[in-house]
A and B are shown apart, each in its own frame.
Chain A
């Protein structure tokens, strides 16, 4: 195994020297994230210090306190969650149904359906925002969470179908046949045999869909004009809109917002990576 890997080689050395190079490289690459986190810990004098400090001289939570008290961070986070959680659930329900059907049916209709999904997942939200705005306006859903939830799910659902389809295929037919023999209907088999086996993939895909919905910006911006309903992405955007910004506060707001994502990612890194690679190239 190790022989093969070294044969791919671009470096004349492996082992610990390569680890050292990798650590330095990863630290440089992820420096912007570190910069975001520590910028939020600086006060209004230190944030504009020249030269900038790479470790906060006097770390303070003042910027965090400010955004909680004055910028309604909690309301923005609640709105983001009110959108992201239903999107995730709706995506998982429709996604697991579709992916299961795609993995079990074998005919031209399924081939067409797969191509439809692949093609419909590529369109930029910024372009769909205009017709969505008009459609939701005609059915009087502007300024409701429902509009953003329905719009966002159209993106996460296609993504979930692409990733889940190959995973559902791995559930052996024999298990289902055994369950039919025991007198279960197709629906019972799906609920009691197939879904429990797919628990881990569904959690991974659910996490990825949640992250996408949580960070969604365009539909929140377009479909919600009432500030009380807007998600945190729109809140951060209006906070940086100005030429001059209180960067320590913007970065404190951003840090609070992305911290859950980073924690979830670090906890599930391995599974997320393998989930992503399973869908996109197969």
Chain B
């Protein structure tokens, strides 16, 4: 072979990997370093800063808003995973039926996922406006609510509102992935089951669901990862308010850094979010490996 062909392949491999290490890996390491330092606007550009050990982490753990926001994050992510995978599976099954326009309309749903998250947030802020919003109008026209709901300003409702908006935003993506996994189930399985006299419920329970299990797990991991990124949407809708009622970890960490300029505490808070995402990412990679192996 001319030259040394594989040397070039290693260069090709190295360039994007070094890029990612430089612009993602290094910032993560830098974040970890800041989390054990005192970082404020005065010393922000210096590399050597006062080392404070785990003080920032202690501050974070003792912080009331952190405890509240950690619970919010788990609720927000948990509800999104259950709803996006559950509804996504239902919708994917519906579209797996044989009817005219099924594929086209299934794809059309993805419109919501294609929109920038910030625009989705702005749009739902308008839909959820207390006085002139269309959500309250429709609910009261259907006599489902008596007085208007304060979707975004009532601390007991705000988290539900941003969760609903995020489910609307993300569900079609989960559904598309589940639909792809559905078509990969060998049809012989269904034929055999039909011969054995299995009804549609039995076929779903004993064939579809077990065959989909790895894909559903991978989708659940992806939804967790994407939901942990839901900064733009919440930032546009409520900024995490009122009183952190709809705040999540990445957003709170950002606010500590850029509103209170306490970069050390912000970084320590970020480390907790990194840990959650990293754990799920490991699970995701393992799931993919198993799927490729099988």
A residues sitting closer than 8 Å to B (CB atoms) are 1-2, 4-11, 14-19, 21-23, 26, 29-30, 32-33, 35-36, 39, 47-48, 50-52, 94-95, 97-98, 100-102, 104-105, 109-110, 113, 115-120, 122-135, 137-138, 150-151, 153-154, 157-158, 161, 180, 183-187, 190, 211, 214-218, 222, 233, 236-237, 240, 245, 247, 250-251, 254, 257-258, 261-262, 265, 269-270, 272-273, 276-277, 280-282
Contact = CB atoms under 8 A, between A and B. Distances in A.
Nearest to B257: A130
B99 A16 contact: yes
A18 B176 contact: no
B171 to A, nearest CB: 9
A11 B30 contact: no
Contact of A240 (B117, B122, B173, B218): B122
B208 interface: yes
Interface of A is mostly: helix
B62 interface: no
A236 B31 CA distance: 29
B42 interface: no
Given A11-B94, A138-B45, A236-B118, A116 B17 contact: yes
Interface centre among A97, A123, A135 (most CB of B within 10 A): A123
Contacts of B208: 8
Contacts of A217: 116-118, 231-232, 235
A35 B122 CA distance: 12
Nearest to A214: B116
A173 to B, nearest CB: 12
B93 A10 contact: yes
Given A123-B24, A185-B3, A282-B288, A236 B44 contact: no
Interface of B is mostly: helix
Interface of B: 1-3, 5-6, 8-10, 12-13, 15-17, 19-21, 23-28, 30-31, 34, 44-45, 90, 93-112, 114-119, 122-127, 129, 131-132, 134, 137, 141, 168, 173, 176-177, 179-182, 187, 190-191, 194, 200, 203-204, 208, 215, 218-219, 222, 225, 228-229, 231-232, 235-236, 250-251, 253-254, 257-258, 263, 266-267, 270, 273-274, 277-278, 280-282, 284-285, 288, 291-292
A248 to B, nearest CB: 10
Contact of A258 (B115, B134, B187, B200): B115
B126 A6 contact: no
Contacts of A16: 99-100
9 contacts: A8-B190, A30-B112, A33-B115, A97-B15, A126-B231, A130-B34, A237-B122, A251-B123, A282-B291
Nearest to B233: A217
Given A97-B15, A186-B9, A251-B123, 11 more contacts: A21-B94, A33-B123, A120-B24, A126-B250, A130-B31, A154-B20, A217-B118, A240-B236, A265-B111, A269-B108, A282-B292
